[in-house]
Amino acid sequence: MASTMLSLASVSPSASLSTHETPKGKVKLGSSFLSLNKGRNNLFAKTESFGRISMVAAVNVSKFEGVTMAPPDPILGVSEAFKASTNQSKLNLGVGAYRTEELQPYVLDVVKKAENLMIERGENKEYLPIEGLAAFNKVTAELLFGADNPVIKQQKVATVQGLSGTGSLRLAAALIERYFPGAKVLISSPTWGNHKNIFNDSRVPWSEYRYYDPKTVGLDFEGMISDIKAAPEGSFVLLHGCAHNPTGIDPTPDQWEKIADVIQEKNHIPFFDVAYQGFASGSLDTDAASVRLFAARGLELLVAQSYSKNLGLYAERIGAINVVCTSSDTATRVKSQLKRIARPMYSNPPVHGARIVANVVGDPTLFGEWKAEMEMMAGRIKNVRQKLYDNLTAKDKSGKDWSFILKQIGMFSFTGLNKAQTENMTNKWHVYMTKDGRISLAGLSLAKCEYLSDAIIDSYHNVS
């Protein structure tokens, strides 16, 4: 820690203090004066009394004294609180991470197989190029758009490996800030909490479009369309490719067409965040339909991808940013600028996750096995969703319609519980969740559905 130490421990009580003494009772520290004799509560000065004079034993002033305590992260902070709880019934429904029926983290079999292949091949740990592993970039764009998509065949996609979904969004935000100064990004209300942080830190202005309708616990489609229409021409519109986080509410295929119409009319630029491909429906192709629909219209678009959820590679930080351009020439230039942004940020990306993805997606046998495992994971979440709904309906005698839970998709369910009700969930029932009422069904087991429905019913009816 940067600090200034004035150690006078070796100075005898009779030593002259004249060099540190002016003005009276103060010690000069750099260009400022520090008071002595401020009593034992002075955090900066440890004083020792020797008769008439007080002597500084050590003064430790941090240059970071003005740094305030940051609030805990609204999502990752929930996991910390969960870990600290000793209650036997506790449930962590905060973070969007897949758990087994025994509520344990899960490493996919295909990931283990891909890692074994890497060991057998004796892969080295040399730096990757700035844009990442070529084999990864190829398969990731193909997975997203489909290998036969004209945008792939005509090399119109600039793909750069990123530090998972977050890092890929951050690269895109930096590109927007540099090449579209003043352009706004429209984000859904609500959205994944980190979107705002990413655009704030990148100095990209953003505003919200209506998305969630609390009355129906469904999509406010009219509101969404009119807000996208009202935005300044040429804005970026951030869309969740599938499994909207936090609501679990996705537009229907018809609604996606209408969203594309408005975006096209207004000359906006669609910017997809695809963090759950395959995890929403269980099918990689179905979950990429929204992105492919926009690409088929010949629109230029951005897509951030993540393999945290669908391959369970949370800590490997593997994802990509793709920019679809109108020509391969533009794509080459855009890619060169993405690399230029990445170089001073983190130089080049990590190799391990990229090799896993390249091995799994690039190998027909492993690819088939991955699809089966993903269906299994998505299926477990669907079963839990159904059981939660069944329990709520059977146990809640008030006649409340809980069917909105079945209309939601993906890892999350937006329960409609308000802040006070979510606090009751945590304080009384030890169910750890974010304050916006979102629960991660991926952290729930069939065995715990009944307990959770008791907690929800109590919080909903007994807390206002």
Ligand X SMILES: Cc1ncc(COP(=O)(O)O)c(C=O)c1O
- C-beta separation of 95 from 315 below 8 A: no
Query: Of residues 308, 310, 408, 440, which one binds ligand X by CB under 6 A?
Result: 308
The CB-of-206 to ligand X minimum distance in angstroms stands at: 15
- With the CA atoms of 220, 223, 226 and 228 taken in that order, what torsion angle do they form, in degrees rounded to the nearest 10? -70
The whole-angstrom separation of Cα 134 and Cα 160 is 9
Q: How far is CA 89 from the centre of its chain?
A: 27
Q: Quick one: 48 or 208, whose CB is closer to ligand X?
A: 208
Query: Of residues 93, 173, 275, 325, which one binds ligand X by CB under 6 A?
Result: 275
- With the CA atoms of 360, 110, 194 and 180 taken in that order, what torsion angle do they form, in degrees rounded to the nearest 10? 0
Assess 96 for contact with ligand X (CB under 6 A): yes
The single residue listed with the structure tokens 């953003």 is: 206
Q: How far is CA 404 from the centre of its chain?
A: 25
Q: Which stretches within 234-327 are classed as H helix?
A: 253-265, 284-287, 289-296
Nearest to 187 by CA among 240, 257, 251, 119: 240
The CB-of-193 to ligand X minimum distance in angstroms stands at: 9
Q: Using only the alpha carbons of the chain, give its radius of gyration.
A: 27
Q: Quick one: 272 or 389, whose CB is closer to ligand X?
A: 272
Q: Quick one: 318 or 392, whose CB is closer to ligand X?
A: 318
The CB-of-240 to ligand X minimum distance in angstroms stands at: 6
Query: Of residues 306, 408, 445, 453, which one binds ligand X by CB under 6 A?
Result: 306
Q: Quick one: 280 or 431, whose CB is closer to ligand X?
A: 280
Angle among Cα 209, 140, 336 to the nearest 5 degrees reads 80
The CB-of-273 to ligand X minimum distance in angstroms stands at: 5
Report the site for ligand X in 176-205 (rule: CB under 6 A): 192
Assess 416 for contact with ligand X (CB under 6 A): no
Assess 319 for contact with ligand X (CB under 6 A): yes
Q: Quick one: 165 or 251, whose CB is closer to ligand X?
A: 165
Report the site for ligand X in 160-179 (rule: CB under 6 A): 164-166
Near ligand X by CB under 6 A, which window of 142-150, 306-314, 337-345, 399-407? 306-314
Spell out the residues 6+ positions from residue 225 whose beta carbon is closer than 8 angstroms to its own.
258, 259, 262
Q: Quick one: 145 or 271, whose CB is closer to ligand X?
A: 271
Catalytic residue positions, numbered: 192, 273, 309
The CB-of-449 to ligand X minimum distance in angstroms stands at: 23
- C-beta separation of 305 from 168 below 8 A: yes
One character per residue 108-147, x = contact with ligand X (rule: CB under 6 A): ----------------------------------------
How does 341-365 read in b/e, with b if 16+ C-beta sit within 10 Å?
A: bbeeeeebbbbebbbbbbbbbbbee
Q: Contact residues for ligand X (CB under 6 A)? A: 96, 164-166, 192, 240, 245, 273, 275, 306, 308, 314, 319
